Amino acid sequence: EKAGYRHFMLKEIFEQPQAILNTFRGRLDPETGKVQLPEIGLNAVELKKISRISLVACGTSWHAALVAKYWLEKWVGIPVEVDIASEFRYRRLLLDETVMVVPISQSGETADTLAGLRLAKKMGAKVIAICNVLGSTITREAHGTIYTHAGPEIGVASTKAFTCQLTALLLLTLFLGEVRKTMSAKNRKAIGHALLELPALMEQELPRLQEETARIAEAFTHSRDFLYLGRGSNFPIALEGALKLKEISYIHAEGYAAGELKHGPIALIDRDMPVLALAPKDSVYEKVISNVEEVKARNGRIILVANAGDKNCRRIAEQVITVPLCHEELNPILFVVPLQLLAYEIANLRGCDVDQPRNLAKSVTVE
Ligand code: F6R
């Protein structure tokens, strides 16, 4: 059942190209980049009336929501708020029928996310879930569900469900960008085409990324702490990389927006606090590099995840993981893969039970 892989987690990491393809198949037109999401069940007039989008989730699914905020605000121009479900449900909510609430959940059974959904419904909001498990409670109670089609995820640490959530959220962005006429056909096509090519690209890179991360893992097996840095839509990927490492290797790790470094965490930098930084060639690349230089100036150990051909990285970093260049908007989906693998390899070297980490359950059905 693990299809020759040592763990479900590794199998699921390698299943990501196929899972992502399954998520966009039948929804994304290869020619025009137009997206169909009839499952939303709202007509054009209703979709144009949406004044705000509110994304609600826990854990890894919350990180997917944080990425989506960048996409939706950039391409659809609707204000997006992102809430941790356990916070959402206990604060004063300002919702009405013009707000689209999107609970995001792999299992569809997470208690806090479900409670948030119920409150949103009661207040008249339109509730469109993003979910992986067919017929789960969240899908039964939402007004509509965009299924992720990642297939069953057995490993407790979420991997393919996450990249499929990102794919579904990008589809939602393209869809709303078209309906609301906020996105040019050219931009939609460019992102749509890049998404179509993503599975093959990821498939091709996975074996090399595993080799590279396995080698790097050996140098960091005994680390006790880790810092992950990113900016823009890769800031949530830093959070996700840190969460993966914590969950399965029990190494203390924190994700930070790279620009926050000088507001506190830089005090932690020394040889025992390795820093992994995400530095794709995007609009904030120079900013990330200057943040990483600050770490270097304090004698920190740096792992840089950067695009192939980046000339800066070997000079700055002790270790470099390269990721192929693709459309900027897809970077979060591609850059999370080496972070999943690095956490996996380090956890293995530490002898941890990767598929069943201590104290964790696959779905959290109590608050
Ligand atoms: C992390 C992880 C958890 C879940 C969280 C939400 O690897 O698996 O953080 O993401 O418990 O679960 P769902 O998405 O099922 O609501």
**What is this model's ipTM?**
0.99
Q: How far is the CA of 7 from the centre of ligand 1 (A)?
A: 18
Cα(317)–Cα(277) distance, integer angstroms: 10
Cα(230)–Cα(332) distance, integer angstroms: 10
Total Cβ atoms within 10 A of residue 62: 23
CB of 75 within 8 A of CB of 184? Answer: no
Residue 165 in contact with ligand 1 by CB distance below 6 A: no
Pocket test residue of 138, 147, 158 for ligand 1, highest count of atoms within 8 A of CB: 158
Residue 158 in contact with ligand 1 by CB distance below 6 A: yes
Residue 157 in contact with ligand 1 by CB distance below 6 A: yes
Q: How far is the CA of 127 from the centre of ligand 1 (A)?
A: 20
Best CA proximity match to 347, nearest among 242, 228, 248, 223: 248
Look at ligand 1, atom 10, and give the residue with the nearest C-alpha: 60
Task: Answer yes or no: is pLDDT of 74 > 90.
Answer: yes
CB of 19 within 8 A of CB of 150? Answer: yes
Q: Which run of H or of E encompasses 104?
A: strand 99-105
Bridging pattern class, strands 99-105 and 80-84: unpaired
Q: How far is the CA of 175 from the centre of ligand 1 (A)?
A: 26
Q: For the chain, how many residues are written?
A: 367
Best CA proximity match to 150, nearest among 345, 17, 299: 17
CB of 202 within 8 A of CB of 334? Answer: yes
For 62, 156, 257, the CA distances from 136, given in Å and listed in that order, are 18, 18, 34
Q: How far is the CA of 312 from the centre of ligand 1 (A)?
A: 35
Pocket test residue of 62, 141, 364 for ligand 1, highest count of atoms within 8 A of CB: 364
Using a cut of 0.90, tell me whether the model's pTM lies above it: yes
pLDDT tens profile 188-197 = 999 999 999 9
For 38, 71, 171, 228, 230, the CA distances from 26, given in Å and listed in that order, are 11, 22, 11, 36, 33
pLDDT tens profile 260-289 = 999 999 999 999 999 999 999 999 999 999
Sheet with 99-105, strands from edge to edge, namely 80-84, 52-57, 99-105, 126-131, 144-147
Q: How far is the CA of 106 from the centre of ligand 1 (A)?
A: 7
Task: Answer yes or no: is pLDDT of 310 > 90.
Answer: no
pLDDT at 90: 95
Ligand 1 atom showing the smallest separation from residue 158 Cα = 7
For 96, 131, 286, the CA distances from 46, given in Å and listed in that order, are 13, 22, 41
DSSP code at position 40: G
Task: Answer yes or no: is pLDDT of 297 > 90.
Answer: yes
Cα(327)–Cα(150) distance, integer angstroms: 22
* Average pLDDT of the residues in 147-170: 97
Task: Answer yes or no: is pLDDT of 347 > 90.
Answer: yes
Coil, strand, or helix at residue 256?
strand
CB of 258 within 8 A of CB of 235? Answer: yes
Residue 59 in contact with ligand 1 by CB distance below 6 A: yes
Sheet with 302-307, strands from edge to edge, namely 252-257, 225-230, 275-279, 302-307, 319-323
